Amino acid sequence: MDKIASLCKRRGIIFPGSDIYGGLANTWDYGPLGAELKRNVKNLWWTTFVHRRRDVVGLEASILMHPRVWEASGHVQNFNDPLVDCKTCKARFRADHLIEERLGLAVEGKTPAQMSEIIVEAKLKCPNCGNATLTEARQFNMMFSTTIGPVSETGTQVYLRPETAQAMFVQYKNVVATGRVKVPFGIAQIGKAFRNEITPGNFIFRQLEFEQMEIEYFVKPDEAAGAFEEWLSAMRGWLRTIGVRDDHIRVREHEQEELSHYSSRTVDFEYQFPGSMGWKELYGLANRTDFDLSRHQEVSGEDLQYFDQAENRKYIPYVIEPTFGVDRTCLVLLIDAYDEEETIDVNGKPDTRVVLRLHPRIAPYKAAVLPLMKKPELAEPARRLFDELVSATGALIEYDETGNIGKRYRRQDEIGTPFCFTFDFDSLDDHAVTVRHRDDMSQERLPIAEVPAWLSERIR
Ligand code: ATP
């Protein structure tokens, strides 16, 4: 993970948040290439689950919502993490993470009192200062709050949303009223969510501010189990589309006591992260039943029943929710893609080649156009090829004419550019370029006229 974090910083993929001020824990910024990677993930997801499906529509809702939304959803009451403080050094930790890491016990679903008992019995010490001075575990709400209005005493307290899902429930009635959807249908959204996470580390895995891609899929109650299975397989299909390795993924069913307050069945898609991190949640799929719509109906007083014309009856739909973390997707793509290869450099010396084997669909740059040397007679036609590629593919293409060609290839390898088109002096006569493949460094000659179609086909 350290190697990936350092490559990300060196190559402008991901920087620590507020870096020149010494950083702000658990915040990260996507640099020029990371912004492209992330955008590719989100665009592909939207195309896959909204544009290509006739039963899913999109939504872009506000991050700030009426405070009663979070009472209705149960987040004010239930969205808590069990925390312990150290009386000596004042550091704060997640009780469940501490127990899991130190004792290897899974404690999800246990009460703070039960966790405190385990901590006392095992004589767990503060990971920061080493003293056995940890407090009892207490529940701590993870929502960030802020105040609307100029004066905090008289203003309205609101929360930064901890999930995008609630907006789909709150706007469900408006979406149905526009008349373009019939159960079963889904509402999809990509957007920021905020959680006051305590446990640091593991690069971008756990952040205070992150993005989710979520679908709330509204179904007839007796069709919920079948829809769950369909989404399970659609989520597997998505992982294949973005090129995540199958053997790094497992699907884990939640135990009864682990289920969230709204869920009757949940599975996690877990990814095998490197080193001590091991298997951790990448995505989730939950049957939220009619919990959210029923609660919003109760608290808002609005009738949220669906009138099923075919059956001539009203009911509150059940909801199947596939949820995908954007940042965790980027992280596993980087981990899966990262490779070091022993090779020889241009001077014949042993060398390590770092290569990001990102799927061409996801890679920030789809290709690079490289004139062999910085000469006007090469630059002019190479620039023309670059312009043609940009307009043919609509994708981000790199143009780089400085430095030795071997070093330029290595730079493209490190940022995951799948193809380089090298324009040399022969190109002026044979109207062809050399295509250099990132993954095996093989080279072939291709007529310039064929390059735009050749590339379009490979990045689609
Ligand atoms: P965890 O158990 O790791 O805290 P969670 O079960 O709380 O995750 P969900 O509430 O199911 O997560 O959120 C849906 C998705 O949002 C997760 O599968 C994950 O991809 C992403 N996610 C959740 N919390 C964070 C975070 N703090 N930083 C980055 N991504 C997150």
**433-452 pLDDT, tens per residue?**
999 999 999 999 999 999 99
Return the residue matching tokens 């000596």: 88
Q: Output the pLDDT for position 150.
A: 78
Q: Is the peptide bond before 184 cis (omega within 30 degrees of 0)?
A: yes
Clarify whether residues 267 and 204 are in a common domain: yes
Clarify whether residues 402 and 295 are in a common domain: no
CATH number at residue 444: 3.40.50.800
Clarify whether residues 228 and 85 are in a common domain: no
The mean per-residue pLDDT over the stretch 106-122 comes to: 88
Q: How far is CA 248 from CA 37, 101, 240, 287, 361, in A?
A: 21, 21, 12, 25, 20
Q: Output the pLDDT for position 136.
A: 92
pLDDT surpasses 90 at 421: yes
Torsion angle defined by CA atoms of residues 377, 452, 37 and 238, in that order, rounded to the nearest 10 degrees: -160
Q: Does residue 127 form part of some domain? A: yes
Q: Does residue 352 form part of some domain? A: no
Q: Does residue 223 form part of some domain? A: yes
Q: Which atom of ligand 1 is nearest to the CA of 284?
A: 18
pLDDT tens-place string over residues 33-42 = 999 999 999 9
pLDDT surpasses 90 at 109: no
Q: Which atom of ligand 1 is nearest to the CA of 325?
A: 20
The mean per-residue pLDDT over the stretch 275-304 comes to: 96
Q: Which of 151-160, 261-270, 426-435 bottoms out in mean pLDDT, i.e. has the lowest?
A: 151-160
Q: Order of strands, edge to edge, in the sheet holding 367-371? A: 397-399, 367-371, 419-423, 432-437, 443-447
Nearest to 142 by CA among 67, 80, 63, 66: 80
Clarify whether residues 26 and 163 are in a common domain: yes
pLDDT surpasses 80 at 152: no
Clarify whether residues 378 and 453 are in a common domain: yes
Mapped onto helix, strand or coil, the DSSP state of residue 272 is strand
CA distance 298 to 292: 10
Return the residue matching tokens 């960030």: 144
pLDDT tens-place string over residues 242-270 = 999 899 999 999 998 888 888 889 999 99
Substitution candidate for ligand 1 out of 140, 164, 207, 281 with most atoms within 8 A of CB: 281
The mean per-residue pLDDT over the stretch 213-230 comes to: 97
Clarify whether residues 209 and 311 are in a common domain: yes
Close Cβ partners of 17 (under 8 Å, ≥ 6 residues apart): 23, 24, 27, 28, 29
CA distance 60 to 458: 32
Q: Output the pLDDT for position 262.
A: 85
Clarify whether residues 164 and 20 are in a common domain: yes
The mean per-residue pLDDT over the stretch 279-289 comes to: 97
Averaged pLDDT of the chain: 94
pLDDT band, residue 345 (cuts 50/70/90): confident
Q: Does residue 182 form part of some domain? A: yes
Clarify whether residues 98 and 151 are in a common domain: no
pLDDT surpasses 90 at 153: no
DSSP for 296-322 reads: HHHHH-----EEETTTTEEEPPEEEEE
Nearest to 122 by CA among 149, 153, 99: 99
Determine which residue's CA is closest to atom 15 belonging to ligand 1: 325
Q: Which of 67-76, 107-116, 236-245 bottoms out in mean pLDDT, i.e. has the lowest?
A: 107-116
Query: Residue length, the chain?
Result: 460
Q: Output the pLDDT for position 57.
A: 97
| Residue 407 identity (one-letter amino acid) | K
Clarify whether residues 248 and 393 are in a common domain: no
Q: Output the pLDDT for position 346.
A: 72
Return the residue matching tokens 């509204």: 218
CA distance 23 to 187: 36
Alpha helices by DSSP H, 47-135: 67-72, 75-78, 95-103, 112-121
pLDDT tens-place string over residues 52-62 = 999 999 999 99
* Ligand 1 neighbours by CB, cut-off 6 Å: 195, 197, 206-207, 210, 212, 281-284, 323, 325, 327-328
Close Cβ partners of 69 (under 8 Å, ≥ 6 residues apart): 166, 170, 296
Q: Which atom of ligand 1 is nearest to the CA of 286?
A: 11
Q: What is the pTM of this model?
A: 0.93
Torsion sign (Cα): 405, 408, 414, 419? negative
pLDDT tens-place string over residues 291-344 = 999 999 999 999 999 999 999 999 999 999 999 999 999 999 999 999 999 988
The mean per-residue pLDDT over the stretch 419-438 comes to: 96
The structural domain count of the chain equals 3
Determine which residue's CA is closest to atom 10 belonging to ligand 1: 163
Domain that holds residue 90: 80-141
What spacing in Å lies between the alpha carbon of 156 and ligand 1's midpoint? 28
Query: Which of 141, 164, 187 is a domain's end point?
Result: 141
Q: Output the pLDDT for position 12.
A: 96
CA distance 442 to 2: 30
Largest CA distance in the chain: 80
Clarify whether residues 189 and 225 are in a common domain: yes
CA distance 422 to 433: 6
Return the residue matching tokens 């397989």: 233
Strand ranges for 290-427 from DSSP E? 306-308, 313-315, 318-325, 338-344, 350-356, 367-371, 397-399, 419-423
Q: Does residue 154 form part of some domain? A: yes
Q: How far is CA 194 from CA 35, 204, 207, in A?
A: 19, 14, 8
Q: Output the pLDDT for position 19.
A: 96
